[in-house]
Amino acid sequence: MRTPGYKNYLGILIVLCMSEAAQAQSINSAANTAGSPSTVTLYGLISEGIGYVSNAGGHSAVQTVSSALQSTRWGIRVVEDLGGGNSALAVLENGFDLNSGKLQNGGRLFGRQAFVGLSNERLGTVTFGRQYDMFYDYFDLYETPVGANSIAAHIGDNDNAFGSFRYNNSVKYISPTLAGLQFEMLYGLSNAAGNFSDNSAFSAGVGYRNGQLTLTAAYLDLRRPGVGVNSSGTVTDDYAGAPFQLFHTSPLSSSVGVDTQRQYGVAGSYAWSKLQLNGELTSVRYDYLDGTGLQLTNVDVNGTYRLTPALVLGVGYVLTHGTYHGVDGSPNWHMGSLSIDYLLSKRTDVYAYDVYQIASRGAHASIFGFTPSSSRSQNVMLVGIRHRF
């Protein structure tokens, strides 16, 4: 079976990393006595905008929008050199609402990321804590919101490529890069005695880079995620948190959760001197606890053109096709995005974008981050500023 083999592999890898670290500390005892080189980095990003939404629950609105282009956050990154190509590392990352100052990610202090681990130049990196899956790690850069500077995430972030939820109790392995290839694996534990599979997760991904060409692929398997079955498991309250996460409960009842969520996808990117093109294809299958199901396929094509060193234009198109099982319905969503981004400096930029979405008959439009529309269409126009530190 896959899970025991994966656990054994991680166990062997951890032992090897610890062995390498112990040997390095013995060889470099004099240096370690004086204090190993280490770095502690404070970093963050603040993004804020003011936007117009044509239909938010039946009414148009003008509103300030925290995390208008990327999620506002700050974090601490720690790396300690243990010698011999080994290092210890940790990340604590907080997400917050700029307009209210409130914590995001379910009110967690470090809800975006919180992990610690060991790294070896030859063997790779193993980390433990609250972490992202491979769809975020490998696909986030190439979907329209990031690849074309807007907020046009796949409807409901149904494939989690935008990183709407994270994995508690997770063990993650990242390989070294060899001949342009790198792979990752993650296992999220249920943490429940005698109930190993309920609210557990497995994800794997591979990436290849050769010059300006990048290709990636990923897989995800979730078993009974959310708080309904096992609230101490790997995916909890942020799985069903925001109203724009649309597909995490049955189409027949919002009180019935997901039995399994399985998905796979491929993505790619190619960059010229001024032009970068990105593409993604993802397929997600939800099977609900009441026997109904939903299959979603996302096709995402986007790109940017650097008109000047400081001025970047972006365009994107996303098609999502759905098919329900056990319930009548085959909804479709079409979404287009146009953006302009101007760099005031290496750290600060101002931007504007227009995102328009239209749904097939019987479905509602819902642009990520905004209250769903009461009709088939929704339009968001926004201007904002972003600062990185």
Q: pLDDT tens digits, residue range 309-341?
A: 999 999 999 999 999 999 999 999 999 999 999
User: Where would I find the beta strands (DSSP E) of 234-347?
Assistant: 258-271, 275-288, 293-306, 311-325, 332-343
For 39-94, write each residue's pLDDT tens digit: 999 999 999 999 999 999 999 999 999 999 999 999 999 999 999 999 999 999 99
pLDDT tens digits, 173-223: 999 999 999 999 999 999 998 888 999 999 999 999 999 999 999 999 999
Beta carbons of 358 and 336 less than 8 angstroms apart: no
Residues of the chain above pLDDT 90, percent: 86
pLDDT at 228: 86
Confidence of residue 245 (pLDDT cuts 50, 70, 90): confident
Residue 25, pLDDT score: 43
For the chain, helix (H) and strand (E) counts, in that order, are 4, 17
How confident is the model at residue 242, as a pLDDT?
63
Confidence of residue 2 (pLDDT cuts 50, 70, 90): very low
What does the pLDDT read at residue 14?
47
Domain span holding position 60: 2-388
- Within 10 angstroms of residue 257's Cβ, the number of other Cβ atoms is 22
Kindly state the tokens that stand for 297. 């396929």
Structural domain count of the chain: 1
pLDDT in tens, 98-124: 999 999 999 999 999 999 999 999 999
Domain CATH code at residue 158: 2.40.160.10
**CA distance linking residue 130 with residue 112, whole number of Å:** 8
